[in-house]
């Protein structure tokens, strides 16, 4: 079994102490990437729930030689466990049981007195979720902040705070302060760095008129910045002078403090507008002179605190989530909602490299029935094609858990969080992956200007790369396209339409040469219809001799070459949304997904129903060369869960029997899909027979785009680590000396002069010397000598 597709942006990443490695939370593991190559180095696997926080332990002030080589970190997860890692060796050092899901964690560098000596002791401040309280209760305080002594592995002190939901904890770089956002307030605690005791911690609140979403502490001053839902940034200066200072003397009178509300403990509060929408991430520079902020507009704003001036980083193409600084001041990283982590070169903020995961689902609630998940599977190359919100298609390698390419489908500018005016409604690939078809829809504005575009693509130089062949505007007049299917072994495709017809398309090849093949186009060969009913789905048989088209709830059979109706199968309970032939057999599978759901198997030879079930299925697929087909069925939604959390079950059928031969329970089935892909014999050392070498694997992609690949024919699943089939990059040695500051010097190769043809000056050499604009000419003193030397004849020196 192979797993992949985890989110890289579910939690803030963390840099190693030397800045050479980046630790990224990815599902139930932590992926360690090299900042020099953006390649995977190792993975930390030990949690049984999603990892929500990773904290790299800072080296001691005067580290020994062994301490300099050691690299340790703490991780927290929804399984309620804190794990201490040696992430260079990918080994677990110890575990601390919490018992409740941990959503956030910080580990400041705190000292305490032990036997008269100061000892650095790690204390974890965690934000947990109290699952004993019902989530349906609106005012239930499910979020709790606790302190854990990581040396002793137990909780110390009482609760720091209780909130409606677990909040993200932010600590200052010195570890002296930590804070959270809670509705319209900032809660800030002062941590005693020497001889720490929980009862010595003091707390203040800073209030605002709007809901706060993020905060950041100044590295050296008592200054905190907060961002709200309207895109404004507030900067409180000299906070805690009254309560956190030992003198407890108020620095200013209440009425003389600009922007500070009521008796809040701060001197001033400055406000500025950074974005038109919610501000989600901010961080101070190492020297505290600048504030970096990012929001849902996908723009990084750099504020100069002394002057108030700001400059912008051009759009990164997706809303920003986290901005993380590195111990190496020349690099930082930013996480975006499109599941990408960009490594930035500071201070210019140039994107050096990117760590790209699978594209996350696109929320499109205003599209009605068009927001159903769209997937395209490449059976031969083991790829999945996923439409993105910026009008692209991402090709993702399921076995290597890595992006192969990203192809632009619609030549249109994309701005994050703009109104949805266009989307990709369908992606279909041929079984060999050589052909692809896409359908993009432009939504009408005030019921005017809608457009449906059908595009055919030819395979490029390698897997996941395609070149555009033909664009067809309004292929079925003003009606939408319901499905597209390719004929096996032939350059033929069929598109069905809700407008009441289907069209057969063929590729016109003027020449069979490889150079001109990609320049060929597609044309419509024939048009068919059945009683003017909407055509909802279409499929070819394995040999391509039969075309099945669903005319609403009637299944029709056609000869694709002559466009002749050869048979009609009895009606189904409701309109058919999916048709597929079961391998090379005589069976045809139909799927209905309306209020009267049905999964049915039909015998094409005698035009009769074999058997059927009244179950709601999210997706179904058939094996291309066997008698099996799989169905992803949805279970009832438990109380308190949304439809996106709806669980399901995968049922594997043999066409000869109505009884499932296997079943698997799955999570997040709503919005998911399943497909058969070609097996890889290299993953199983026991695959010696010809049957094993031709094994077909089953892929399940859930609603969050996480996936699992397994062999449905084997009862004992072989668990394959992701490290086995991933290209893991070995760690490169860090530059030292001159190279660490200025970079590597360019290597100059010595070139030997070879005597060639004797130089013959032109008749008018001064024309080239004085050609060009006057403001770019060199000084006259240099021009004169060059002009005179050009008039002299140069003779080559002969070898003695």
Q: What is the 3-state secondary structure (H, E, C) of 106-158?
A: ECCEEEEEECCEEEEEEEEEEEEECCCCCCCCCCCCCEEEEEEECCCCEEEEE
pLDDT tens digits along 163-217? 999 999 999 988 899 999 999 999 999 988 777 888 888 999 999 988 998 999 9
Mean pLDDT of 343-356: 89
CB 181 within 8 A of CB 226: yes
What is the helix (H) or strand (E) element at residue 66, kind and residue range? helix 65-69
Planar angle of CA 107, 108, 114, nearest 5 degrees: 105
DSSP 591-652: EE-SSS-EEEEEETTTTEEEEEE---EEEEEE-SSSSEEEEEEEPPPPTT--GGG--EEEEE
Distance from chain centroid for Cα 374: 16
Does the pLDDT of residue 741 top 70, yes or no?
Answer: no
Residue-wise pLDDT tens digits, 486-529: 999 899 999 999 999 999 999 987 555 444 444 578 999 999 99
Torsion of CA 560, 561, 562, 568, to 10 degrees: -20
Q: From the CB of residue 792, how many other CB atoms can be counted at a distance below 10 Å? A: 8
SS3 334: strand
Q: What string of DSSP letters covers 526-540?
A: EEE-STT--EEEEEE
Residue 390: what pLDDT?
85
Beta bridge partners of 548: 539, 557
Whole-number pLDDT of residue 719: 39
Q: What's the whole-number mean pLDDT along residues 322-342?
A: 91
pLDDT of residue 62: 57
> pLDDT tens for residues 522-567?
999 999 999 999 999 999 999 999 999 999 999 999 999 999 999 9
Could you tell me which of 198, 236, 194, 203 has the C-alpha nearest to residue 217? 236
Provide the 10 A C-beta neighbour count for residue 569.
21
The mean pLDDT value of the chain amounts to 82
DSSP letter at 221 equals S
Q: How far is CA 191 from CA 55, 202, 303, 537, in A?
A: 18, 7, 28, 64
The mean pLDDT of 99-103, rounded to a whole number, is: 95
pLDDT in tens, 664-702: 999 889 889 999 998 875 555 455 544 444 678 999 999
CB 488 within 8 A of CB 542: yes
Is 80 exceeded by the pLDDT of residue 644?
Answer: no
- Could you tell me if 176 and 197 are in contact, meaning their C-beta atoms sit under 8 angstroms apart? no
Query: Token digits for 100?
Result: 């409740």
Main-chain dihedrals φ then ψ at residue 421, nearest 5 degrees: -115, -10
Determine the pLDDT at residue 760: 46
pLDDT of residue 652: 94
The pLDDT tens digits of the residues spanning 569-595 come to 988 889 999 999 999 999 999 999 888
CA atoms lying within 13 Å on the CB side of residue 699: 25
Instruction: Choose the weakest-confidence range: 42-46, 265-269, 387-391, 486-490.
Output: 265-269
User: In whole angstroms, what is the distance from residue 374 CA to residue 201 CA?
Assistant: 52
- Find residue 343's DSSP bridge partners: 333, 353
Instruction: Output DSSP code: residue 668.
Output: -
The answer to whether the beta carbons of residues 350 and 342 sit under 8 Å apart is no
Q: Which H helix or E strand runs over 722?
A: helix 722-725
Q: What angle do CA 688, 630, 463 make, to 5 degrees?
A: 65
Count CA atoms closer than 13 A to 269's CA, side-chain side: 23
- Whole-prediction pTM: 0.81
């Amino acid at each position: 079994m192979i797993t992949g597709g985890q989110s890289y942006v579910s939690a803030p990443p963390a840099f190693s102490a030397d800045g050479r490695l980046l630790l990224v939370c990815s599902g139930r593991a932590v992926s360690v990437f090299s900042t020099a190559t953006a390649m995977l180095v190792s993975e930390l696997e030990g949690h049984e729930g999603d990892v929500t926080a990773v904290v790299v332990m800072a080296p001691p002030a005067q580290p020994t030689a062994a301490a300099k080589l050691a690299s340790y970190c703490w991780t927290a997860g929804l399984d309620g466990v804190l794990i201490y890692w040696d992430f260079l060796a990918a080994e677990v050092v110890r575990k601390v049981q919490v018992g409740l899901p941990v959503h956030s964690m910080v580990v400041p560098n705190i000292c305490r007195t032990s036997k008269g000596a100061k000892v650095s002791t790690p204390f974890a401040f965690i934000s947990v979720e109290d699952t004993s309280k019902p989530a349906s209760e609106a005012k239930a305080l499910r979020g709790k902040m606790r302190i854990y002594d990581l040396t002793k592995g137990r909780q110390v002190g009482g609760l720091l705070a209780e909130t409606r939901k677990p909040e993200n904890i932010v600590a200052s770089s010195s570890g002296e302060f930590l804070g959270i956002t809670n509705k319209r307030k900032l809660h800030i605690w002062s941590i005693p760095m020497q001889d720490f005791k929980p009862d010595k911690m003091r707390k203040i609140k800073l209030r605002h008129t709007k809901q706060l979403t993020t905060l950041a502490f100044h590295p050296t001053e008592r200054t905190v910045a907060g961002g709200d839902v309207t895109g404004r940034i507030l900067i409180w200066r000299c906070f805690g002078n009254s309560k956190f200072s030992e003198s407890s003397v108020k620095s200013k009178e209440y009425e003389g403090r600009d922007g500070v509300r009521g008796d809040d403990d701060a001197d001033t509060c400055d406000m500025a507008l950074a974005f038109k929408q919610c501000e989600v991430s901010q961080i101070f520079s190492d020297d505290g002179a600048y504030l970096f902020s990012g929001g849902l507009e996908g723009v990084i704003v750099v504020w100069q605190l002394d002057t108030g001036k700001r400059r912008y980083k051009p759009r990164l193409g997706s809303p920003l989530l986290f901005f993380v600084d590195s111990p190496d001041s020349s690099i930082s990283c930013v996480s975006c909602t499109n599941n990408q982590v960009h490594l930035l070169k500071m201070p210019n903020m140039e994107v050096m490299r990117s760590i790209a995961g699978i594209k996350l689902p696109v929320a499109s609630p205003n599209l009605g029935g068009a927001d159903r998940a769209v997937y395209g599977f490449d059976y031969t190359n083991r790829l999945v094609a996923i439409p993105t919100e910026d009008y692209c298609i991402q090709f993702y390698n399921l076995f290597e858990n890595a992006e192969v390419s990203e192809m632009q489908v619609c030549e249109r500018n994309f701005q994050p969080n703009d109104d949805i005016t266009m989307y990709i409604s369908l992606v279909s690939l041929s079984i060999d992956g050589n052909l692809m078809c896409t359908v993009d829809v432009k939504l009408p504005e005030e019921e005017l200007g809608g457009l449906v575009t059908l595009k055919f693509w030819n395979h490029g130089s390698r897997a996941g790369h395609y070149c555009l062949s033909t664009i067809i505007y309004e292929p079925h007049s003003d009606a939408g396209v319901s499905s597209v299917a390719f004929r096996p072994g032939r350059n033929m495709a069929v598109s069905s339409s809700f407008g009441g017809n289907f069209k057969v398309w063929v590729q016109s090849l003027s020449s069979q040469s490889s150079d001109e093949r990609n320049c060929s186009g597609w044309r419509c060969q024939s048009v068919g219809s059945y009683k003017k009913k909407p055509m909802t789905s279409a499929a070819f048989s394995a040999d391509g001799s039969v075309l099945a088209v669903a005319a609403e709830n009637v299944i029709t059979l056609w000869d694709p070459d002559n466009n002749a109706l050869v048979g009609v199968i009895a009606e189904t309970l409701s309109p058919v949304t999916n048709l597929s032939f079961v391998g090379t057999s005589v069976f045809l599978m139909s799927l209905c997904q309306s209020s009267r759901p049905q999964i049915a198997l039909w015998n094409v030879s005698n035009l009769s129903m074999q058997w059927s079930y009244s179950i709601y299925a999210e997706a179904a697929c058939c094996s291309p060369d066997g008698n099996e087909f799989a169905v992803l069925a949805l279970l009832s939604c438990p109380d308190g869960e949304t439809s996106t959390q709806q669980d399901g079950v995968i049922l594997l059928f043999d066409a000869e029997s109505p009884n499932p031969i296997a079943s698997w329970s799955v999570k997040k089935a709503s919005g998911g899909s399943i497909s058969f892909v070609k097996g890889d014999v290299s993953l199983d050392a026991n695959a010696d027979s010809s049957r094993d070498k031709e094994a077909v694997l089953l892929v399940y992609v859930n609603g969050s785009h996480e996936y699992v690949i397994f062999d449905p024919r084997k009862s004992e699943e072989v668990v394959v680590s992701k490290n086995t089939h991933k290209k893991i990059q070995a760690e490169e040695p860090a530059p030292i000396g001159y190279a660490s500051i200025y970079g590597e010097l360019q290597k100059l190769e010595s070139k030997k002069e070879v005597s060639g043809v004797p130089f013959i000056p032109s008749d008018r050499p001064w024309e080239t010397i004085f050609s060009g604009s006057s403001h770019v000419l060199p000084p006259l003193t240099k021009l004169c000598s060059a002009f005179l030397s050009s008039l002299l004849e140069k003779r080559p020196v002969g070898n003695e």
